[in-house]
Amino acid sequence: MSATARTFGLARSLAMYYGIPFRAGRLRRFYSQFVQSGALCFDVGAHAGNRVRCWRGLGARVVAIEPQPDFVRLLRWLYGGDKGVEIVPQAVGRNAGTAELLVSERTPTVTTLSQAWVESVRREPGFEHVQWSARERVDVVTLQSLIERYGEPAFVKVDVEGFEAEALAGLATPVRALSFEYVPATREIAFACVERLAALAQYRYNWSIGETHRLKSAQWLDAAGLRALLAGLPQGAPSGDIYAVRVDA
């Protein structure tokens, strides 16, 4: 790997997630509807740890799961002394084992385990100059094994660049609430996530665009409503996150 590219990528992520004024307060206000003091949260794809900071600020315990070694070191530097944070240096998938991580050194936010996702997004606006120039073998665990190890979380964030459906395929417990990223160019991944959740329990859904942390729908949607919404997004629309809350939660 290029040390210069890695340093640039790390600095870019730090600026993006820690350098924007008022973002921390906005995050806490947004997540307070899902996360209460004393709750357990899983941050799957913890990256630079801004959700870890947010949820700890709300009084939650956090399991931060991140496979990129540079960001594991960063997480340990920032939160390694916090007894309320457990750092897991692994990826999450359908089955336990190992997998090849496709690393974008200069834009590590889009490092992924999915070659198919890379092929789908590389021609999309915003990805034209992204390169996945390095490969690393990483350990993979399942969400269910993490639940067995740490307990059932009140909230799970899954942001793993096209591997969301694979991560949720390894979940057998209908957790109370969670989020997963969607990208219009690969909306079939979001459809697969909804199908997996529907097999576990009945959920209601909402969505937000990018890093706005504002729910877009005035009313929460059922699975059919969310599918219709995702199907209607134009190609080139911005990515964002889907939020799911179990109906009986």
Q: Look at residue 128 in the predicted model and tell me its pLDDT.
A: 83
Asked if residues 96 and 142 have their Cβ atoms less than 8 Å apart, the reply is yes
Residue 70 has pLDDT above 70, yes or no: yes
Using 50, 70 and 90 to split pLDDT, how confident is the model at 14? confident
Which pairing describes strands 85-88 and 240-246: parallel, antiparallel, or unpaired?
A: unpaired
* CA-wise closest residue to 6 among 51, 92, 69: 69
Give me the percent of the chain exceeding a pLDDT of 70.
100
Integer Cα distance of 28 and 231 in angstroms = 30
For residue range 111-155, what is the model confidence (pLDDT) as tens digits? Answer: 999 999 999 998 888 888 899 989 999 999 999 999 999 999 999
Which pairing describes strands 155-158 and 134-141: parallel, antiparallel, or unpaired?
A: unpaired
Determine the average pLDDT of the residues in 198-220: 96
The model's pTM? 0.95
- Coil, helix or strand for 80? coil
Average pLDDT, rounded, for the chain: 94
Q: Look at residue 177 in the predicted model and tell me its pLDDT.
A: 98
Using 50, 70 and 90 to split pLDDT, how confident is the model at 1? low
What's the token pair of residue 41?
Answer: 């949260």
For residue range 98-109, what is the model confidence (pLDDT) as tens digits? Answer: 999 999 999 999
Q: Which residue has the tokens 């409503």?
A: 225
3-state SS, one letter per residue, for 96-119: CEEEEEEECCCCHHHCECCHHHHH
Using 50, 70 and 90 to split pLDDT, how confident is the model at 200? very high
Q: Look at residue 61 in the predicted model and tell me its pLDDT.
A: 98
- Residue 16: CB atoms within 10 A of its CB come to 15
Q: Look at residue 21 in the predicted model and tell me its pLDDT.
A: 78
Does the domain at 23-92+140-246 match CATH 3.90.1150.110? Answer given as no
Where do the domains of the chain lie?
A: 23-92+140-246
